[in-house]
Amino acid sequence: AQSVTQPDIHITVSEGASLELRCNYSYGATPYLFWYVQSPGQGLQLLLKYFSGDTLVQGIKGFEAEFKRSQSSFNLRKPSVHWSDAAEYFCAVGGMDSSYKLIFGSGTRLLVRP
């Protein structure tokens, strides 16, 4: 079955510290992987996506993610967190056989300490 697991419900980091949000997926075919960010009361904004090629992808706002097929993971990283990064982060998986559908993880809420 297709699924996405984000094992951390909440993460708190200090401003300026590095960040890593975990994502593991289960997908029968070649996965397409995404990270979205959602501010309170807002829709979702795409941070980055992986379709193929270089397994380290760069996104907006200084975020990057690395696809590791052997670990079925697509962890999101940022070297230095800003207070404005506090939000909910969703990992999602899709693929060519999924009829354009994305399956989302349950999200990780990021809190940033001043």
List of residues contacting other proteins (CB under 8 A): 4, 9, 32, 34, 36, 41-46, 49, 51, 90, 94-96, 98-102, 104-107, 109
Which of 19/102 has CB closer to other proteins?
Answer: 102
* Residue type for position 53: G
Q: Find where tokens 């399956």 sit.
A: 103
* Pairwise CA distance, residues 98 & 21, whole Å: 25
Considering only CA atoms, which of 9, 17, 7, 23 is closest in space to residue 75?
23
Distance of closest approach, residue 105 Cβ to other proteins, in angstroms? 6
Min separation Cβ 102 and other proteins, Å: 7
Task: Decide whether 80 or 101 has the Cβ nearer to other proteins.
Answer: 101
Neighbours of 6 (CB within 10 A): 19
User: Which residue number, 15 or 86, has a Cβ lying nearer to other proteins?
Assistant: 86
Task: Name 5's bridge partners.
Answer: 24
> Nearest approach, Cβ of 64 to other proteins (angstroms)?
17
